[in-house]
Amino acid sequence: MSDESKDRPGAAAGRRGFLAAASTAVMSAGLVGGYGAFAAIAGRFLYPARPADRGWQFLIEEARVAIGDSLHYRTPAGENVSITRKERNGEAGDFIALSSTCPHLGCQVHWEGQNNRYFCPCHNGVFDPDGVGIGGPPGDAGQSLPRYALKIEKGLLYIEVGFDSLAASGEGELIEEPERSAAGHDPCLDRRGGKRSA
């Protein structure tokens, strides 16, 4: 027998040992990675992130908005809000601030003062003055428009927004001054205020 044939069995055993150790290491890493990812997801569920700090941002002088008027505001986070005046008592309760994005498919909702309702022209969604769905797909699904907190100080109207979004994108902006009717609203606007593609 040659020396070469004597080394072969030992070499084969060495390769088998290496493959066994390598496969054990790979399987162990996979288990650690899988259980680690599960632990991270469970930790996020059990200990959710703290809510963003919130604060007040100036909108408009409350005297400039008549009963039935609606103004449109874009938050620093880019959300569209419709603020409507329902009464004239000089209190924040005179106004209601609701998301302008329909919860059904995200079309833009607008205030129709003559009909005393918010209307989504995409699928004829109807919301009462408090933003509760009463017709169309949102009414059928029991969906409402999300509400924003308002306050009045020294005749000035403020809306509550997140500070984190202020730092990220600057300040919010008043898109339209108060107006009485839905005239001038394009029913085919998407969430960002751009034209919707057909």
Quick: pLDDT tens for 160-174: 987 655 544 556 666
Counting the structural domains of the chain, the total is 2
Structure tokens at 114: 């003559």
Q: Do 126 and 164 lie in a common domain?
A: yes
How high does pLDDT run on average in the chain?
78
| Residues paired with 174 in a beta bridge | 73
pLDDT at 134: 92
Quick: pLDDT tens for 38-83: 888 888 778 777 766 778 888 899 889 888 888 888 888 788 888 9
pLDDT at 189: 37
Q: Do 136 and 66 lie in a common domain?
A: yes
pTM of the model: 0.59
Range of the domain at 149: 54-179
Quick: pLDDT tens for 171-193: 666 665 555 444 444 333 333 34
Residue 101 CA to residue 134 CA, distance in Å, equals 16
Quick: pLDDT tens for 75-114: 887 888 889 888 888 888 889 999 988 888 888 998 888 8
Q: Do 35 and 86 lie in a common domain?
A: no
- Does residue 185 fall inside a structural domain? no
- Does residue 134 fall inside a structural domain? yes
- Does residue 193 fall inside a structural domain? no
Among 58, 55, 60, 57, which Cα is nearest to 71's?
A: 60
pLDDT at 127: 92
Q: Do 166 and 80 lie in a common domain?
A: yes
- Does residue 192 fall inside a structural domain? no
Among 187, 190, 69, which Cα is nearest to 122's?
A: 187
